[in-house]
Amino acid sequence: MFGSIMGYLSKDLGIDLGTANTLIHAKGQGVVVNEPSVVSINQRNGQIIAVGHEAKAMIGKTPPNVLVSRPLQRGIIADFEVTEKMLRYFFEKIHRETTAFLPRPRVVVGVPLDVTEVERKAVGDAVLSAGAREVHILEEPMAAAIGAGLPISDPVGNMIVDIGGGTTEIAVISLNGVVTAKSITIAGDELNRNIAQYARDVFNLLLGERVAEDIKIEVGSAAPVGNRMEASMRGRDLLSGLPREITVNDDQIREAMSRSIRAIVDHVKSILEITPPELVADIYRRGIVLTGGSALLRGLDQAIAQGTGLPVRITDDPLMSVVRGTGLVLEDPKLLHDVELPIQDVMR
């Protein structure tokens, strides 16, 4: 009885638990949380100092007693306790304006394609420990396809490439199931590392994680752009040990990321090679859909189209595709039943 009352007062939630960002959709409200998956902790007493944007602003700037943690790696929980605290913080923030003093939401959460049973259970346990009364899990490409408005229930081939922070998920979906798929660890974070390594190798400049990401956003591209773009790159000179600033252009940053971009294209082609021919015919006609925050990299759709010979389009607001999909299945019990992954009864 108590659980059902708390459920009535709580909001059903859909969660995109991403390496870079955590997004939460509340039923009837839309996306209510869009924050970095970062938590800062005082190691002396174990207390949470900041979560989300505030914690991300602390990266590389903390004293020894403060740890800035990214508890999710490649979309998988790397630190269970910190993930639980982060989710609990978000749940309480969402329910702050309701009468629920102890929120017990029903939750749908997306997980990467290649998670093991143990990793899947860890996600469910973390969400339950954070305060959920019921957990449903579905694969992120499936959630992204639903969020992108693809007809996943029809007997047609839908190819989706979800490029996030930690992983790129490539899947062909038909009749509410994943037919062929692959998950790779080349995504937004890897592109940041490419830029940092390029600065080190070419300019003897040591960059921080956030600086590399800012450069990628400012002038990064996967294919030549119309106008030349330049940005200031600031870091520590490896020879003198002193701060130094240089100017880089889009050609240089594109060169830095080129190997990873080619790898993404090659993996997309490898999935097409093992997809049944009837579905490939559908994909040839319908094209490939890009989702995920890293799909916003300039020219990435052009690079994949050139490499595969297929039409490629970026869905509207690609960062929101997965969380939008989890929100839609919250509204459709039959669809949720058809697409959710089997989980142990203890997670219900």
Give yes or no for residue 98 having a pLDDT over 90: no
Closest CA to 293 of 194, 165, 143, 149: 165
User: Is there a single domain that holds both residue 243 and residue 303?
Assistant: no
User: Is there a single domain that holds both residue 121 and residue 232?
Assistant: no
For residue 281, the SS3 value is helix
Closest CA to 326 of 36, 22, 122: 22
- From 40-49, 80-89, 337-346, the region with the lowest mean pLDDT: 337-346
Could you give the CA distance from residue 236 to residue 201 in angstroms, rounded to a whole number?
13
Give yes or no for residue 345 having a pLDDT over 50: no
User: Is there a single domain that holds both residue 235 and residue 111?
Assistant: no
Supply the Cα-derived Rg of the chain in whole angstroms.
21
The pLDDT tens digits for 151-163 are 999 999 999 999 9
Longest alpha-carbon distance in the chain: 68
Residue range 112-132: mean pLDDT, rounded = 90
Q: Dihedral through CA 223, CA 226, CA 227, CA 233, nearest 10?
A: -10
Domain boundary among 256, 276, 297: 256
The pLDDT tens digits for 168-196 are 999 999 999 999 999 999 999 999 999 99
Does 57 reside within a domain? no
* CATH assignment of the domain containing 92: 3.30.420.40
- 188: burial class by Cβ within 10 Å (0-12, 13-18, 19+)? buried
Does 103 reside within a domain? yes
Does 62 reside within a domain? no
Most confident of 3-17, 19-33, 192-206: 192-206
User: Is there a single domain that holds both residue 89 and residue 135?
Assistant: yes
Please give the distance of CA 218 from its chain centroid, rounded to a whole number: 20
Q: Print the domain residue range for 8.
A: 2-36+74-143+322-343
pLDDT at res. 115: 86
259 to each of 197, 267, 332, how far by Cα in Å? 12, 12, 41
Does 63 reside within a domain? no
Does 42 reside within a domain? no
Does 50 reside within a domain? no
Could you give the CA distance from residue 267 to residue 304 in angstroms, rounded to a whole number?
10
Could you give the CA distance from residue 102 to residue 295 in angstroms, rounded to a whole number?
38
User: Is there a single domain that holds both residue 157 and residue 281?
Assistant: yes
User: Is there a single domain that holds both residue 137 and residue 279?
Assistant: no
User: Is there a single domain that holds both residue 218 and residue 295?
Assistant: no
Q: Are 164 and 155 in contact (CB under 8 A)?
A: no
Average of per-residue pLDDT values in the chain: 90
User: Is there a single domain that holds both residue 99 and residue 215?
Assistant: no
User: Is there a single domain that holds both residue 210 and residue 136?
Assistant: no
The pLDDT tens digits for 326-336 are 999 999 999 99
> How many domains is the chain built from?
3
34 to each of 3, 30, 104, 251, how far by Cα in Å? 28, 11, 20, 31
The pLDDT tens digits for 129-157 are 988 999 999 999 999 999 999 999 999 99
* CATH assignment of the domain containing 195: 3.90.640.10
Question: Quick one: pLDDT band at residue 76, thresholds 50, 70, 90?
Answer: confident
The pLDDT tens digits for 243-265 are 999 999 999 999 999 999 999 99
Residue range 295-306: mean pLDDT, rounded = 96
Give yes or no for residue 7 having a pLDDT over 80: no
Residue range 185-214: mean pLDDT, rounded = 95
User: Is there a single domain that holds both residue 89 and residue 113?
Assistant: yes
Does 138 reside within a domain? yes
Single pTM value for the model: 0.88
User: Is there a single domain that holds both residue 104 and residue 22?
Assistant: yes
pLDDT at res. 343: 65
Could you give the CA distance from residue 314 to residue 115 in angstroms, rounded to a whole number?
26
Q: What phi, psi does 118 have (nearest 5°)? A: -65, -45
Could you give the CA distance from residue 326 to residue 200 in angstroms, rounded to a whole number?
40
Residue range 18-35: mean pLDDT, rounded = 91
Does 98 reside within a domain? yes
Give yes or no for residue 4 having a pLDDT over 70: no
Question: Quick one: pLDDT band at residue 109, thresholds 50, 70, 90?
Answer: very high
User: Is there a single domain that holds both residue 221 and residue 327?
Assistant: no
